Chains A and B, each alone.
Chain A
Amino acid sequence: MSKTSRTSITMPAQAKKGAIIEIRAIAQHDMESGFRYTEGGKSIPREIIRVFTCSYNNTEIFKADFYPGIGANPLIIFTTIATESGMLEFKWVGDDGYEANNQARITVT
Chain B
Amino acid sequence: MNLSKKINRRQWLRCLQQISILAVGACLSPLTVFAKKEEADSAIKEITGGAVIKDGRVTLVIPPLVENGNLVVLNVRVDSPMTENDYVKVIHVIAEGNPLPNIFAAYLTPRSGTANITTRVRLADSQRVWAIAQMNDGSFWQGYAETLVTLSACTEMV
Contact = CB atoms under 8 A, between A and B. Distances in A.
Interface of A: 20-21, 33, 35-39, 44, 56, 59-72, 74-81, 83
16 contacts: A35-B100, A61-B109, A62-B108, A68-B122, A69-B93, A69-B101, A69-B104, A70-B104, A71-B70, A71-B120, A71-B122, A71-B153, A74-B120, A76-B119, A80-B111, A81-B113
Nearest to B109: A61
Contacts of A59: 111
Nearest to B106: A64
Interface residues of B, number: 34
B71 A72 contact: yes
A66 B105 CA distance: 7
Nearest to B129: A69
Contacts of B112: 61-62, 78-81
Interface in B66-124: 70-72, 93, 95, 98-109, 111-114, 116-122
